[in-house]
Structure 1
Amino acid sequence: MRRILFTLLAVLAACASPGSLEKGGKGGLVSVKVDETALSDAYAPRRLALLVGVSQFQDSQWRNLRYSSKDAEDLAAALRDPGRGHFDRVRVLSRPEETTRASILAALRQLRQEATRPDDVVVVYFSAHGTLARDGKGELKRYLVTTDAAFRDIPQTALSMDALKSEFDQLPSRRRLMVLATCHSGSGKSLLPRELEAELAGIKSGFYARPIEESSRASMVFAACDWGETAREDEGLRNDIYTHFLINGLNGAADRNVDGAVTATEAHDYARRHTYAFTEGRQRPSAEILEVGADPVVLSGRIDRMGRPELFSYNPRLDGFTLKVDGETRTELPGGAAVTPGRRTVELTKGDNVLIREVVDITAGERLPLERLLSQAFPRRSLSVMGGMFSFVDARSRDELLPAAPELAVVLRLEERPLPDLSLVFDVSGSRGRRSLNLVPGGSVPFTYTSLSLGAAVPYTWRWERLSLYAGPRVAALLLQRSFQTEAFTGAQQYFTFSPGVVGGVVWRLNDRLELAAQTQLMLTYVVVDGQGQAVGFSGGWAGVGYRF
């Protein structure tokens, strides 16, 4: 910011000089020569880091940590080093007065005011105890133990991970990384209240289901261990184990594609593999990355040449799968591997099962998300033939307009359109038959009817292997015709309306092509009966078989 102000002041000073007034006159334009290097430096993306190491605690229930402060200082040295991280500003909080809940939140808010550009690189790191506690609503939440955290009042005094993540998500930068060298397992760098520890021990799975981080766009959250595992310090390494290998990777060892720079994902994958080996599989660092693309967070070095192509995935759908290239095992996902440019046979396997086997042409510098191969391997369009019922919601409409009736439907679903988690759903349904109206007690009026409906929806889609669920807004056009042949009235009536509503569906994929599908919708429409208009609801439900193409 100071460099930008300096440049602007120089321009203003030149414009206000006596020479400029004499030559250009009042309000004249002045040609000013600005040093291009200085201007480029002033607008260059900044590299900022906030590193927090909490080693001492006011409440004696929390045992002091030996290396948390050292973790932060060692990482700071690597990031400040002109030959490695070359960060512009690195702030370390390690003294007791700097690591209170209020001080950490204030530092994060100050960082938000400094990292104001979308292309700024921002790193936030925490080495501390983690713990679990139930909040005021009785929900189990994760907390970072700050210096002033009280063991018997964790929700009110410790820093909740939700609050921490909220502050992190508000950083304007799109190139941001948060590293959590902490855990919530009850051992290692963690401590739990006795009653909660007993509760967790009684769960057969050993722990609650792993939470899903709500990572914001282009942000990354790295954790020193997986959910329910223990993050450890090591006396021989004199560091948190994951942090030790993360720093080692910044020396250049993690540069898997050999382009001269170590990116965040490269550093994490290096630290993850070495931490797993060092702890003999007891500690598995994890990552939550919403969007990688061309990994924008360079932690060390500079990209000075075209790197080798990379295959990678951090999508939870592919966790535990093995990546093979040309028949050779390269890595277990999540993670990535650099390969030789050219035509390669890529496989994703789990045990003896092969999820995909694709031949791809990959060029130098290319980063290929394996989810792309997954989406190409399985068709994302389906056409379903379904049967079911439709009915007006209220009893009066069923008595006076149309009772519940069977119908046939054809549904076209386009997955990942217009966005990856959305689908386009188009349906046409129709019915024809005979029914009776109950207009007077004990009497009925027979009639024939024809109905036709055209619908379109843009639902959000959730996927778990073979199962997909979708739900979202829908609009539909409804045409209803009725014909009467009675002594009192002979003739036809016709209604046509556009209706808003919602749709929901479930899909079970039998194989690569066939699927079972069910869909239901609830709509609101407006009809005129005997000269009187009324808003009525109608719903429908179908089930059938679909073909993916």
Structure 2
Amino acid sequence: MKHLLFTLLTVLAACASPSSLDKGSKGGLVSVKVDEGALSNAYAPRRLALLVGVSQFQDEQWRDLRYSSKDAEDLAAALRDPKRGHFDHVRVLSRPEQTTRASILAALRELRREATRPDDVVVVYFSAHGTLARDGKGELKRYLVTTDAEYRAIPQTALPMDELKSEFDQFPSRRRLMVLATCHSGSGKSLLPRELEAELAGIKAGFYARPIEESSRTSMVFAACDWGETAREDEGLKNDIYTHFLIDGLNGAADRNFDGAVTATEAHDHARRHTYAFTEGRQRPSAEILEVGADPVVLSGHINRTGRPELFSYNPRLDGFTLKVDGETRTELPGGAAVPPGKRTVELTKGSDVLVREVVDIAEGERLPLERLLSETFPRRSLTLMGGMFSFVDARSRNELLPASPELAVVLRLEERPLPDLSLVFDLSGGRGQQSLHLAPGTSVPFTYTSLSLGAAVPYTWKWERFSLYAGPRVAALFLQRSFQTEAFTGAQQYFTFSPGVMGGVAWRLSERLELSAQTQLMVTYVVVDGQGQAVGFSGGWAGVGYRF
């Protein structure tokens, strides 16, 4: 609106200028004085928040919540406070008519129309019941229980978390945070239909996918508890437990690097640690953050000095590991810790196992993602010497072209290229020896052969601890030469073709540098034998020892 008003004033000033009315004049530029402070404020990033507390429900099957509305109001007070959140606009939805499914979606879309700049800070918060139900396709989905949600018609009346997340991802802002002070465990701030609760009781924990989808770039989604756990209200705190400690962090207690500001990740880590301790480990808040970098979401205070160095990780691969610095335990991941600048011995441990032990030199204000230590500690390239077999798939080709034959191969694998979950695999294989063709029963035609293949593949890679599994498309060039010295024929035949196909492989790291690996491939090619063309399939399988570098 400010942009539009400024533009209109400029245009009106130009149109009303006397110089533009002079006889014979075609118009001209008009100097307009604009206050620099006002102009700066007009273009400054805004800080906007939408806080929703659903305490009352039309369907009596949903138990009313005591503190959800208060959670939203208390957090709003912290965000509005000029000395803490200093947000420009904070809207709270807590009355029954404001917390219906339609009203919440309308408020989200209105906020999206207001937060139009990439550097706007946007916070969306929900304190409510959560539940699970199967949608029209029979898939188990998560739902936010709104005021008008019906217990017997959850998919039709409650707010699907998928839809909520979709709305959130459409915000233009690159600095956005969504906080879910709810759960889907069947207790606490959650209620499940009885038939679904009975179904879940027969399924092992961990069967379901994690409840929060992958976050879009530079967005964060915080949850008051982990999947299958209970989010609790506390009568002594008179708040949702996680929300209480989140607000406590905004008072300055969460500023771990002492730069004067509390960022979203600092506030969450503070609330996570205190919630875990307060509930004696029964509630573990979680976070999904695809890319943090220098955390751009400042929730409280102002960055007025260079902060202490920080070590952090929100990567699920490191969940449950302990961060130690100079032999001292600092935090359990996910999370982060501030450390004194200089050379520090950093360890990632789980029980008695040490995943990483590195000496790093970290400067004031630096934020070091612990995944970087992993990439530096464990080389992402391997060169493997393999031995195996080459064979045509059908019996006719084995009898008339080349029987199954041994070969040697060299394989170069580049992990996390060109994307994190992909690899580049290049292989060179070949063999030479003597074989015999069996063109008719009881006949044998000896010959010598030379085979050579050069292949390239881009497989998708799955990793578990020291084990890697990869599979994907492959193309290869195949050269085959046969030399005959018989009474009927003396000479050589050559074949050269390009072939598409698929490949798969496994790798097991024995140590930091050595690994065992195996690879197989299935290809399709076209060859001409005795003047007749035919499509044939050929395969190969190798195993060997590789060196990582």
- TM-score class, shorter-chain normalisation, is over 0.9
Unaligned stretches of 5+ in structure 2?
A: none
Structure 2 CA distance for partners of 1:8 and 1:359, relative to 1, 3 Å: same
Question: Could you tell me how far apart the structure 2 residues matched to 1:406 and 1:102 are?
Answer: 68
Paired amino acid for 2:425: V
Deviations 1:172-224 (A, max 9, x none): 32222111101111110011122322333334548756456312111211110
Name the SS of the counterpart of 2:417 in structure 1: coil
Name the SS of the counterpart of 1:70 in structure 2: helix
1:14 paired to 2:13: yes
Retained in 2: the 8 A contact 1:249–1:270? yes
Question: Could you tell me how far apart the structure 2 residues matched to 1:206 and 1:26 are?
Answer: 74
Give the C-alpha shift of residue 501 in structure 1. Answer: 3.5
Structure 2 CA distance for partners of 1:101 and 1:526, relative to 1, 3 Å: farther
Deviations 1:284-334 (A, max 9, x none): 111111111101111112212111110111111211111111121111111
Retained in 1: the 8 A contact 2:473–2:502? yes
Equivalent residue number for residue 353 of structure 2: 353
Question: Where has structure 1 moved over 6 Å in runs of 4 or more?
Answer: none
Question: Could you tell me how far apart the structure 2 residues matched to 1:153 and 1:256 are?
Answer: 45
**Aligned pairs (5 A) from 1:78-227:** 78-203=78-203, 205=205, 208=208, 210-211=210-211, 213-227=213-227
Paired amino acid for 1:497: T
Question: Could you tell me how far apart the structure 2 residues matched to 1:416 and 1:285 are?
Answer: 30
**Aligned pairs (5 A) from 1:351-500:** 351-394=351-394, 397-437=397-437, 445-500=445-500
1:66 paired to 2:38: no
Paired amino acid for 2:11: L
Bigger mean CA offset, 198-207 vs 85-94:
198-207
Structure 2 CA distance for partners of 1:443 and 1:305, relative to 1, 3 Å: same
Retained in 2: the 8 A contact 1:225–1:284? yes
Question: Could you tell me how far apart the structure 1 residues matched to 2:27 and 2:435 are?
Answer: 85
Structure 2 CA distance for partners of 1:136 and 1:398, relative to 1, 3 Å: farther
**Aligned pairs (5 A) from 1:219-238:** 219-238=219-238
Retained in 1: the 8 A contact 2:509–2:515? yes
Paired amino acid for 2:194: R
Name the SS of the counterpart of 1:111 in structure 2: helix
Task: Count the aligned residue pairs.
Answer: 548
Give the C-alpha shift of residue 517 in structure 1. Answer: 1.1
Give the C-alpha shift of residue 541 in structure 1. Answer: 2.5
Name the SS of the counterpart of 2:187 in structure 1: coil
Name the SS of the counterpart of 1:347 in structure 2: strand
Equivalent residue number for residue 260 of structure 1: 260
Question: Could you tell me how far apart the structure 1 residues matched to 2:400 and 2:136 are?
Answer: 51
Give the C-alpha shift of residue 486 in structure 1. Answer: 4.4
Retained in 1: the 8 A contact 2:518–2:543? yes
Question: Could you tell me how far apart the structure 1 residues matched to 2:547 and 2:461 are?
Answer: 18
Deviations 1:421-478 (A, max 9, x none): 3322221111223444565677665443222112223333222211122233333222
Structure 2 CA distance for partners of 1:101 and 1:480, relative to 1, 3 Å: farther
Deviations 1:72-96 (A, max 9, x none): 1221222222222222332322222
Unaligned stretches of 5+ in structure 1?
A: none
Retained in 2: the 8 A contact 1:418–1:424? yes
Structure 2 CA distance for partners of 1:348 and 1:19, relative to 1, 3 Å: same
Bigger mean CA offset, 492-501 vs 462-471:
492-501
Retained in 1: the 8 A contact 2:389–2:540? yes
Structure 2 CA distance for partners of 1:499 and 1:12, relative to 1, 3 Å: farther
Bigger mean CA offset, 59-68 vs 439-448:
439-448
Equivalent residue number for residue 307 of structure 2: 307
Bigger mean CA offset, 141-150 vs 390-399:
390-399
Give the C-alpha shift of residue 165 in structure 1. Answer: 2.1
Paired amino acid for 1:11: T
Question: Could you tell me how far apart the structure 1 residues matched to 2:169 and 2:195 are?
Answer: 33
Name the SS of the counterpart of 2:75 in structure 1: helix
Deviations 1:394-439 (A, max 9, x none): 5554454444433221111122334433322221111223444565
Paired amino acid for 1:21: S
Deviations 1:312-370 (A, max 9, x none): 11111211111111121111111111111111111112222222111111111100011
1:3 paired to 2:10: no
Bigger mean CA offset, 90-99 vs 2-11:
90-99
Give the C-alpha shift of residue 484 in structure 1. Answer: 3.3
Structure 2 CA distance for partners of 1:109 and 1:351, relative to 1, 3 Å: same
Equivalent residue number for residue 43 of structure 1: 43
Bigger mean CA offset, 535-544 vs 288-297:
535-544
Name the SS of the counterpart of 2:258 in structure 1: coil
Paired amino acid for 1:427: D
Structure 2 CA distance for partners of 1:537 and 1:165, relative to 1, 3 Å: farther
Equivalent residue number for residue 341 of structure 1: 341
Give the C-alpha shift of residue 33 in structure 1. Answer: 4.8
Question: Could you tell me how far apart the structure 2 residues matched to 1:118 and 1:112 are?
Answer: 12
Question: Could you tell me how far apart the structure 2 residues matched to 1:455 and 1:42 are?
Answer: 58
Structure 2 CA distance for partners of 1:394 and 1:234, relative to 1, 3 Å: same
Retained in 1: the 8 A contact 2:259–2:305? yes
Retained in 1: the 8 A contact 2:21–2:27? no
Bigger mean CA offset, 343-352 vs 88-97:
88-97
Bigger mean CA offset, 116-125 vs 360-369:
116-125
Bigger mean CA offset, 25-34 vs 283-292:
25-34
1:538 paired to 2:538: yes
Paired amino acid for 2:408: L
Retained in 2: the 8 A contact 1:201–1:207? no
Name the SS of the counterpart of 1:184 in structure 2: coil
Deviations 1:478-519 (A, max 9, x none): 222233344554332323233343332221112212211122
Retained in 2: the 8 A contact 1:46–1:121? yes
Equivalent residue number for residue 501 of structure 2: 501
Name the SS of the counterpart of 1:247 in structure 2: helix
Paired amino acid for 1:43: Y
Structure 2 CA distance for partners of 1:294 and 1:443, relative to 1, 3 Å: same
Bigger mean CA offset, 345-354 vs 394-403:
394-403
Question: Could you tell me how far apart the structure 2 residues matched to 1:29 and 1:493 are?
Answer: 82
Retained in 2: the 8 A contact 1:207–1:228? no
Structure 2 CA distance for partners of 1:526 and 1:121, relative to 1, 3 Å: farther
Retained in 1: the 8 A contact 2:411–2:427? yes
Bigger mean CA offset, 420-429 vs 436-445:
436-445
Name the SS of the counterpart of 1:231 in structure 2: coil
Bigger mean CA offset, 274-283 vs 137-146:
137-146
Paired amino acid for 2:14: C
Paired amino acid for 2:184: H
